[in-house]
């Protein structure tokens, strides 16, 4: 880096002032497609660097969201910090930040000031509840987003407790949406010369993902209860215990249910008028799941998979993370990528899920340590001298 390929974002300069997941993920996506990304974090590293588990004293958490970035350390409370940040804003095309609303204004680099420094700047502000509204100044982490948006209430078994997702789904989704906003703003600026503020809230993102439950409430005034691993709208769909582990079978449509019945050698189920409609199968799904469960219990997941594949019935062995990481499909899709770190050796990371024929995402730089690229950022980008760098280091600014 800088990028020398014909990547779609070649020449786009991104200043990443964000922390944790959503903002850094947004900036990383831009970097994967060729943008030059400079991440600024405090000396010693942001909080995420001090979260385990660790690999040779480095948090592997940081390996997820910081590839393809240069890293510059800066104490934003230092007297010289504001001037340095302003010069980086003048350099940048896009700034990504996820401070609580109002914070960058207190720092002296709010959107109005950014536009004075760089009139066509694009500011991607990622926050919990957005830049407007009565909750805009509230603190938020992923779990708070899941709880406040309705996602947690709909997740879990019927009659059970509300349940968190097994991953940081709100942060990931917000990071993806922020990248979409940034890309759209870049395209708009290419056409018009205008920058703009991109305001993405985790709460909004999760609310927009509630799907049919939300529409049921908005259009029908009905609250759909938790459904566990069942499908909301069709049956039979659930997890069943095979002889050697759980398997998920989706046979809820009018075409799939008879195929499953044929595989089970149960034409009586396919011909029973009680099960001839979606509504009928939903009404009798306890019974149907009992029959399917008894059939699955006497077979291995491999045996089940072979006959369902042949019949065209969707299914999946419920895979562990360890199993899916070694999946031939993951390998074929380049969903595990590697980068060579100068001190840590080979680092394995999740690949970018967007596959493009002409301009695929690339990994050009391993996730950096805090301040690893101070010389490049401060001397080559900002034009400081070696003496300036040494003075800033001794003063504690970097």
Which residues are known catalytic residues?
A: 171
> Looking at the structure, do residues 180 and 242 belong to the same domain, yes or no?
no
Phi, psi of 349 (to 5 degrees): -140, 160
pLDDT > 90? residue 343: no
> Looking at the structure, do residues 308 and 166 belong to the same domain, yes or no?
no
Q: Do 34 and 67 meet the contact criterion of CB atoms below 8 Å apart?
A: no
Of 296, 321, 346, the residue that ends a domain is: 321
Across the chain, mean pLDDT equals 97
- Tens of pLDDT along 213-258? 999 999 999 999 999 999 999 999 999 999 999 999 999 999 999 9
Q: Do 285 and 235 meet the contact criterion of CB atoms below 8 Å apart?
A: yes
> Looking at the structure, do residues 271 and 187 belong to the same domain, yes or no?
no
Domain-embedded: residue 110: yes
Partners of 126 in beta bridges: 200
Question: What is the span of the domain harbouring residue 248?
Answer: 237-321
Domain-embedded: residue 115: yes
> Looking at the structure, do residues 85 and 126 belong to the same domain, yes or no?
yes
CATH number assigned to the domain comprising residue 367: 3.40.50.10540
- Tens of pLDDT along 178-224? 999 999 999 999 999 999 999 999 999 999 999 999 999 999 999 99
Mean pLDDT of 7-22: 97
Burial group, residue 70, by CB count within 10 angstroms (0-12, 13-18, 19+): buried
Q: List CB contacts of 184: < 8 A, sequence separation 6 or more.
A: 198
Domain-embedded: residue 150: yes
Best CA proximity match to 98, nearest among 47, 133, 58: 47
Phi, psi of 292 (to 5 degrees): -65, -40
- Tens of pLDDT along 134-190? 999 999 999 999 999 999 999 999 999 999 999 999 999 999 999 999 999 999 999
Q: Do 38 and 119 meet the contact criterion of CB atoms below 8 Å apart?
A: no
Which helix (H) or strand (E) is 87 found in, with range? helix 81-91
Query: What percent of the chain shows pLDDT beyond 70?
Result: 99
Q: What pLDDT is recorded for position 6?
A: 82
pLDDT confidence tier of residue 3, bands split at 50, 70 and 90: low
> Looking at the structure, do residues 365 and 291 belong to the same domain, yes or no?
no
> Looking at the structure, do residues 129 and 61 belong to the same domain, yes or no?
yes
CA distance 139 to 369: 27
What's the structural domain count of the chain? Answer: 2
- Tens of pLDDT along 36-86? 999 999 999 999 999 999 999 899 999 999 999 999 999 999 999 999 999
- Tens of pLDDT along 125-136? 999 999 999 999
Domain-embedded: residue 183: yes
CA 237 vs. chain centroid, Å, equals 27
Mean pLDDT of 346-351: 96
Domain-embedded: residue 171: yes
Domain-embedded: residue 2: no
> Looking at the structure, do residues 391 and 247 belong to the same domain, yes or no?
no
CA distance 165 to 36: 33
> Looking at the structure, do residues 313 and 337 belong to the same domain, yes or no?
no
Best CA proximity match to 175, nearest among 295, 29, 314: 29
> Looking at the structure, do residues 183 and 161 belong to the same domain, yes or no?
yes
CATH number assigned to the domain comprising residue 255: 3.30.1540.10
> Looking at the structure, do residues 132 and 246 belong to the same domain, yes or no?
no
Verdict on whether the full-model pTM lies above 0.85: yes
Domain-embedded: residue 228: no
Q: What pLDDT is recorded for position 4?
A: 52
3-state secondary structure of 242: strand
Of 321, 346, 381, the residue that ends a domain is: 321
> Looking at the structure, do residues 187 and 285 belong to the same domain, yes or no?
no
Domain-embedded: residue 227: no
CA 268, 270, 272 angle in degrees (round to 5)? 65
Is the backbone of residue 69 left (phi > 0), alpha (psi -120 to 50) or beta? beta
Of 303, 321, 339, the residue that ends a domain is: 321
> Looking at the structure, do residues 87 and 180 belong to the same domain, yes or no?
yes
CA distance 8 to 75: 33
């Amino acid at each position: 880096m800088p990028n020398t390929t014909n990547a779609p974002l070649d020449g786009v300069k991104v200043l990443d002032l964000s922390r944790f997941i959503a903002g850094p993920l947004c900036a990383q996506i831009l970097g994967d497609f060729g943008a030059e990304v400079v991440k600024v974090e405090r000396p010693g590293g942001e909080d995420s660097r001090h979260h385990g588990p660790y690999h040779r004293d480095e948090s592997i958490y940081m390996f997820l969201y910081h590839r393809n970035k240069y890293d510059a350390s800066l104490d934003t409370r230092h007297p010289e910090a504001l001037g340095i940040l302003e010069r980086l804003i003048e350099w940048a095309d896009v700034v990504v930040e996820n401070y609580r609303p109002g914070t960058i204004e207190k720092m002296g680099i709010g959107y109005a000031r950014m536009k004075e420094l760089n009139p066509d700047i694009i500011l991607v502000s990622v926050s919990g509840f957005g830049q407007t509204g009565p909750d805009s100044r509230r603190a938020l982490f992923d779990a708070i987003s899941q709880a406040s948006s309705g996602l947690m209430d709909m997740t879990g078994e019927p009659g059970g407790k509300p349940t968190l997702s097994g991953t940081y789904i709100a942060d990931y989704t917000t990071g993806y949406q922020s990248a979409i906003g940034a890309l759209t703003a870049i395209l708009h600026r290419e056409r018009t010369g205008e920058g703009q503020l991109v305001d993405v809230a985790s709460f909004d993102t999760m609310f927009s993902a509630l799907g049919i439950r939300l529409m049921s409430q908005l259009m029908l005034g009905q609250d759909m209860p938790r459904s566990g691993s069942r499908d909301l709208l069709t049956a039979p769909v659930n997890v069943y215990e095979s002889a050697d582990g759980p398997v998920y079978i989706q046979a809820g449509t009018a075409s799939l249910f008879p195929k499953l019945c044929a595989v089970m050698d149960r034409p009586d189920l396919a011909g029973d008028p009680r099960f001839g409609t979606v509504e009928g199968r939903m009404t009798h799904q306890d019974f149907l799941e009992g029959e399917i469960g008894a059939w699955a219990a006497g077979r291995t997941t491999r045996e089940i998979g072979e006959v369902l594949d042949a019949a065209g019935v969707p299914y999946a062995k419920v895979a562990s993370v360890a199993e899916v990481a070694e999946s031939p499909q993951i390998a074929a899709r380049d969903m595990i990528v590697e980068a060579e770190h100068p001190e840590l050796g080979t680092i394995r990371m999740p690949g970018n899920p967007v596959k493009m024929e002409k301009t695929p995402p690339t990994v050009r730089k391993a996730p950096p340590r805090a301040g690893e690229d101070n010389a490049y950022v401060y001397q080559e980008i900002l034009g400081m001298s070696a003496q300036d760098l040494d003075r800033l280091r001794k003063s504690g600014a970097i």
